[in-house]
Amino acid sequence: MNTAPASSPALSASPVPRKAGTTRRVIDAPTRMFHWLFALCFVGAYLTADGERLRLVHVVLGYSMAGLLGFRVLYGLFGPRQARLSLLWGKVANAPFWLRSVKAAWSGPGQVSWRQGQYLAMAMAVIAMLLAVLPLTLSGYAVFHDWGGEWLEEIHEAVGELFLWLVLAHLAMLLALSVMRRRNQATPMLTGRMEGTGPDLAKRNHAWLAILLLATVLSYWSWEWQQAPSVQQAEASCSRAASSTRHADDC
C-alpha cells in the first residue's frame, strides 16, 4: 500500500511567479535605425546651417534626410504591421472623438482617456516632423542651386526652425511621459523592448534591413566625400566669392 502523502491542492494550484525583467519587443531594428540616423542628420544639418565652409556637409545631411524619409514611407506602406504609417494616422484620426470626450468631461460627468491624449500628441508630433522634411529639403535644394532669391532662403530657415521646435516638443513630451509613468519612454527606441508580459508587437527584428540601411547611408556619405572638392579648391572658391556674397565673413 502506497503511504506517500498526496500533494496539497493549494500547492499544486499555486500560480507561477512572474519572472523579473520580462520584456517584449515593440520596435524593430529598421525603425530604430531610421530614427537615430534621421535625428543625427537633422542635428548635423542644423549645426552646419551657417557658413560656407561646411555648406557641403549641410547639403549632404539634408539629402540624407530626404532619402531616409523615402525609406520610412516605403517601410510604412509595405513593412510589418507595427511599423505601418496607418497606425500613426489612426491615432490622429481619433482626435475629434478624444476632443469631444474632453468637452463632455468639462461640461459634466465623464471620463477622459489621458493616455489616449498622450498617444495622440506623440503621433501628431511625429507626423508633423515627417511632413516638414519635404518642404525643408526642397527649399534647401533650391537655395543650393540658386533658384530663388533671399525669400527662398528665408523660407528654408523658417522651416528649419519649425522643425527644431517640433523636435523639442517631441523631446518634451517624452520627458513628461517618463516622469508621469516613472519609466524611461525613450528606452524602446534604444533597445526595441519594453517591460511587460504579452506577445511581441514586433514579431521579427529584421536586423539585416537595419544593417543594410546603415550601410547605404555610410556608402552615400563616403561617395560624397570622394566627390567633394579639396580644401584648397574650396578656399580658393570661397575667396573668389567673398567680394560678391554676404557670407564673406565665413571665408
Tell me which residue of 195, 209, 201, 206 sits closest to 81, measured CA to CA: 201
- Beta carbons within 8 Å of 213's beta carbon, 6+ residues apart: 30, 33, 34, 37, 71
Instruction: Give residue-wise pLDDT tens across range 102-155.
Output: 666 666 666 666 666 677 777 888 888 888 999 999 999 998 888 877 888 899
**Which amino acid is it at 120?**
L
The reply to whether 144 falls in a domain is yes
Q: What is the pLDDT of residue 15?
A: 41
Q: What is the pLDDT of residue 199?
A: 84
Query: Do the domain assignments include residue 56?
Result: yes
Question: Residue 235: inside a domain, yes or no?
Answer: no
Q: Quick one: which H or E segment has residue 173?
A: helix 150-181
SS3 for 24? strand
Asked if residue 63 belongs to a domain, the reply is yes
Residue in the block written with cell 524619409? 69
* Predicted local confidence at residue 10, as pLDDT: 40
Write the Ramachandran bin of 19: left for phi over 0, alpha for psi from -120 to 50, otherwise beta.
beta
Note the pLDDT of residue 17. Answer: 43
Query: pLDDT tens string for the chain (251 positions)?
Result: 444 444 444 444 444 444 545 888 889 999 999 999 999 999 999 999 987 888 899 999 999 999 999 999 999 999 898 888 888 877 777 777 767 776 666 666 666 666 666 777 778 888 888 889 999 999 999 988 888 778 888 999 999 999 999 999 888 888 887 887 787 878 888 888 888 777 888 889 999 999 999 999 999 999 999 987 754 455 555 555 555 545 445 54
CATH of the domain at 170: 1.20.950
Is residue 108 a part of any domain in this protein? Answer: yes
- Specify the number of domains making up the chain: 1
Is residue 83 domain-resident?
yes
**Residue 234 covered by a domain:** no
Q: Is residue 224 part of a domain?
A: no
Which range marks the domain in which residue 119 is found? Answer: 25-214
